Amino acid sequence: MSAEEILMCAVELGKNFCLYFDELECDALCKEKTLHRVLRNVKSQLLVVRPDLNVAAFEDVTDQEMQSGKGMHFSIHCYKTTTPLAGMPVAFSVQVEDKSYYMCCERECGEMIVRFKEGEVPKEIPGESNIIFFKKTFTSCCSKAFKFEYSMERGMFLAFEEEGYLRKLILKKLSKDEVDETMKMSLSKFSQNENHNL
């Protein structure tokens, strides 16, 4: 016989003899760690956020510009969850001047738009949230690159699209077995003293 602990849950019968469980942990996300990275697309361009122009786009950046980090040094907030999900739940924020902006998605004219809003990323998220993305390996043979699926609309991923001279950050639908290079992103350190892996 083992002395293993068995977790018991209180149950009760409600109207029409429906079964209810008391004191179960609800679906929630809790911030576990924060990593500091730059995001690169398949063309090795860096994602740069310009809140004054209400735009986020992948750009060619010099080493000097990268060191200054204006709008390109991201905090990637990793969450742990009470339910098993496909991929690690993450949220993105970035510092521009003295202000912090977080990435979110909103529906506008029937289309999902990626936005950066002033504010902080919460430590806990009680349910669904328009700031959460699931980090997934880009392909099974490409484990150093990732794609980020929007948590509230499965099959929609962060990607870029050409708009004039810009490679603008967007949400894009992915068909089941398709490989779309515009969704491929890599995460690089900009701080020498950080050794966490994501």
| pLDDT tens per residue across span 139-157 | 878 778 999 999 999 899 9
Helix, strand and coil content of the chain, in percent to the nearest 5, comes to 10, 50, 40
Label residue 27 by pLDDT band (50, 70, 90).
low
Give the pLDDT confidence score for residue 95 in this predicted structure.
Answer: 93
Give the pLDDT confidence score for residue 44 in this predicted structure.
Answer: 92
Average confidence score pLDDT of the chain: 83
Give the pLDDT confidence score for residue 115 in this predicted structure.
Answer: 95
CB 132 within 8 A of CB 90: yes
Give the pLDDT confidence score for residue 24 in this predicted structure.
Answer: 38
Chain-centroid distance of CA 82 in Å reads 17
CB 74 within 8 A of CB 93: yes
* CB neighbourhood size of 17 (10 A): 6
Mean pLDDT of 105-128: 92
- Quote the CA–CA distance of 32 and 123 in Å, as a whole number: 9
Mean pLDDT of 159-177: 90
Give me Rg for the CA atoms of the chain.
20
Label residue 191 by pLDDT band (50, 70, 90).
low
Query: What are the two backbone dihedrals, phi and then psi, of residue 167, each rounded to the nearest 5 degrees?
Result: -110, 85
Mean pLDDT of 24-51: 85
How much of the chain, in percent, has pLDDT values that exceed 90?
Answer: 52
Whats the size of the chain, residue-wise? 198
**For tokens 């510092």, what's the residue?**
95
pLDDT exceeds cutoff 50 at 134? yes
Mean pLDDT of 111-131: 92
DSSP 3-state assignment of 76?
strand
Buried b (16+ CB within 10 A) or exposed e, 136-170: eebeeeeeebbbbbbbeeeebbbbbeeeeeebebb
Residues 6+ apart with CB under 8 A from 12: 19, 20, 22
Q: Which of 18-22, 64-68, 72-76, 164-168 has the highest mean pLDDT?
A: 72-76
User: Whole-prediction pTM value?
Assistant: 0.80
Give the pLDDT confidence score for residue 21 in this predicted structure.
Answer: 41
